[in-house]
Amino acid sequence: MIASIENKKTIPIQLEGEFQTLLSTTFSSEPEWLKEKRKEAFEKFSDAGIPTRKNEEYKYTDVRKVFSGKFTAIHNEAHKIKFPSPMGEGLWVRLIFINGWLYKDSTLSAKLPKGVIIGNLATDGLLNHSDLLKKYLSSDGDSLAQLNSALWTDGAFVYIPENIQLETPIEIIHISTGEKEILASPRHLIIAENNSFVNIIENNISLDLNSRGIVNSHADIFVGENSKAQYYRLQNDCKNVSLISSTNVVQEKNSHFDTITITLGSEWIRNNLSIALNGESCETHLNGLFITNGTDHIDNHTSIHHNKPNCQSNQLYKGILDGKSTGVFNGKIFVERDAQKTNAYQSSKNILLSDDSAINTKPQLEIYADDVKCSHGSTTGQLNEEALFYLRSRGLSVDSARNLLLYAFANDVLSTIKIESLKNYLEELVNSRLSPTLSKG
């Protein structure tokens, strides 16, 4: 229950107590520096409280509603679970987490190049590489990110040393189980040192369609000089698992970062994506596709900081909204005084399939340099009537024509996926989501 008094910053009552419990149990054997970090984070969270609609960043997204139920941060799962096989069976490395805890049967391939670490944060990371954690575990972010910084249990720890190109995709699967309502706090740390390559898929799923809960996830990603990282996020969780995902990316000189977020499930999702371009000549591409229905609500907030010159950023977010679903897109671009010759592009395109669906899109540009190229565009509308008629005039039914056009709309984003098997899997998924009967022929 939230004791809410108008204008007073509040947090769910049980969390304070649960945090103390966790400090003296689950987190008790952690090094002091980490416990301190957690305490600081919890304080920041308490001070700020759960965001309300009066908070500009959460104007269209009701977080309180999500945290108003009876949930608990105290849980410790060791399930015997069967889950669906990965898309690239045998070719990939999988890290599996259940409610934020490492599942001991994750497949960690033995044949990794020397120095590459793919493991979990709580043991591989904390016990063997605490120096890296000290250096890279960020304390940034809004109050929800702070909540994760206080409560995180486990997550992926991926370290790619200098000059190593790891082509093998790494799949981080987070599974929600939901006998009782759980607040899961997975935390991931990805470090790609100079001249390296890594590609990662983060997949949020539930096994039981009736699972309920909150997943408050946080990832820190460091892309070193001349490095390339691709980060795919699949959000196809079940209806009653709400997802908050904070991703914090720092890029050094000449690096390249691509991320694609495909949202097909869960009734409530808030994605916070923040990129800091801390070196010259970086390139970053943020793409997103969401398909919503019923009373789904999806909120994509992105923030790109051009701190150095000659960097290029590109954002393409596309949404297909039906039923009474609602979407939010807020794309911030900050161009610092030093960041001359910045190219920053942002595009938010949405199709509303019903009278009751809605999207709020807002670009925000703060530009302090004078030699830059920035543009933003947003379109919201229905399907192209001319195109629909053209297809029907060739014999396609209204449904077939509609689905063909919707698929074409979605494919703009799907086609940017660079892992072939993942792309094929998602094309099928999106196709069947748009129409159960239409096949790609």
* Of 400, 416, 421, 435, the one binding another protein by CB under 8 A: 400
Q: Does 381 bind another protein (CB under 8 A)?
A: no
Distance CA 33, CA 243 (A): 28
The token duo for 179 is 């006998």
Q: Site size for another protein, by CB under 8 A?
A: 24
* Of 168, 293, 384, 421, the one binding another protein by CB under 8 A: 384
Per-residue x/- mask for another protein, residues 293 to 322, rule CB under 8 A?
A: ------------------------------
Cβ-based neighbours of 413, under 8 Å, separated by 6 or more = 260, 262, 287, 288, 289, 316, 318
Asked if residue 230 lies in contact with residue 203, where contact means CB atoms within 8 angstroms, the answer is: no
* Ordered DSSP codes for 320-382: EE-TT-EEEEEEEEEE-TT-TTEEEEEEEEEEE-STT-EEEEEEEEEE--SSEEEEEEEEEE-
Nearer to another protein, 158 or 291 (CB): 291
The token duo for 292 is 């919503």
Give the long-range contacts of residues 48-56, CB within 8 A, separation 24 or more: 48/9, 48/142, 48/143, 48/146, 49/8, 49/9, 49/10, 49/11, 49/143, 50/2, 50/10, 50/11, 50/12, 50/143, 50/144, 51/142, 51/143, 51/144, 54/7
Q: Does 262 bind another protein (CB under 8 A)?
A: no
Q: Does 392 bind another protein (CB under 8 A)?
A: yes
Instruction: Name the minimum Å distance from CB 377 to another protein.
Output: 16
Per-residue x/- mask for another protein, residues 22 to 41, rule CB under 8 A?
A: --------------------
Instruction: Name the minimum Å distance from CB 347 to another protein.
Output: 14
Contact stretch for another protein (CB under 8 A) within 88-96, 239-247, 357-365, 396-404: 396-404
Instruction: Name the minimum Å distance from CB 63 to another protein.
Output: 35
* Of 396, 416, 425, 427, the one binding another protein by CB under 8 A: 396
Distance CA 18, CA 336 (A): 41
CA-to-CA dists, residue 38 to 98, 99, 288, angstroms:
21, 19, 31
Q: Does 386 bind another protein (CB under 8 A)?
A: yes
Contact stretch for another protein (CB under 8 A) within 10-18, 272-280, 296-304, 381-389: 381-389
Nearer to another protein, 188 or 318 (CB): 318
Asked if residue 73 lies in contact with residue 151, where contact means CB atoms within 8 angstroms, the answer is: yes
SS3 at position 425? helix
Site for another protein in 410-429 (CB under 8 A): 411-412
Contact stretch for another protein (CB under 8 A) within 42-50, 76-84, 107-115, 391-399: 391-399
* Of 76, 295, 397, 424, the one binding another protein by CB under 8 A: 397
Neighbours of 311 (CB within 10 A): 29
Asked if residue 161 lies in contact with residue 116, where contact means CB atoms within 8 angstroms, the answer is: yes
* Of 42, 136, 290, 407, the one binding another protein by CB under 8 A: 407
Nearer to another protein, 163 or 400 (CB): 400
Give the long-range contacts of residues 34-37, CB within 8 A, separation 24 or more: 34/126, 34/130, 34/133, 37/137, 37/139, 37/149
Nearer to another protein, 98 or 401 (CB): 401
Q: Does 398 bind another protein (CB under 8 A)?
A: yes
Asked if residue 152 lies in contact with residue 120, where contact means CB atoms within 8 angstroms, the answer is: no
Nearer to another protein, 192 or 391 (CB): 391
Q: What's the one-letter identity of residue 383?
A: L
* Of 79, 139, 390, 418, the one binding another protein by CB under 8 A: 390
Contact stretch for another protein (CB under 8 A) within 106-114, 283-291, 373-381, 392-400: 392-400
> What b/e readout covers 242-281, taking b as 16+ CB neighbours within 10 angstroms?
bbbbbbbbbbbbbbbbbbbbbbbbbbbbbbbbbbbbbbbb
Asked if residue 85 lies in contact with residue 70, where contact means CB atoms within 8 angstroms, the answer is: no
Nearer to another protein, 368 or 389 (CB): 389
Neighbours of 211 (CB within 10 A): 21
Site for another protein in 110-169 (CB under 8 A): none
Contact stretch for another protein (CB under 8 A) within 75-83, 84-92, 372-380, 401-409: 401-409
Q: Does 435 bind another protein (CB under 8 A)?
A: no
Nearer to another protein, 73 or 316 (CB): 316
* Of 355, 395, 436, 437, the one binding another protein by CB under 8 A: 395
- Dihedral through CA 426, CA 181, CA 219, CA 18, nearest 10? 180
Nearer to another protein, 250 or 404 (CB): 404
What is the binding site for another protein (CB under 8 A)? 384, 386-387, 389-398, 400-401, 404-405, 407-409, 411-412, 440-441
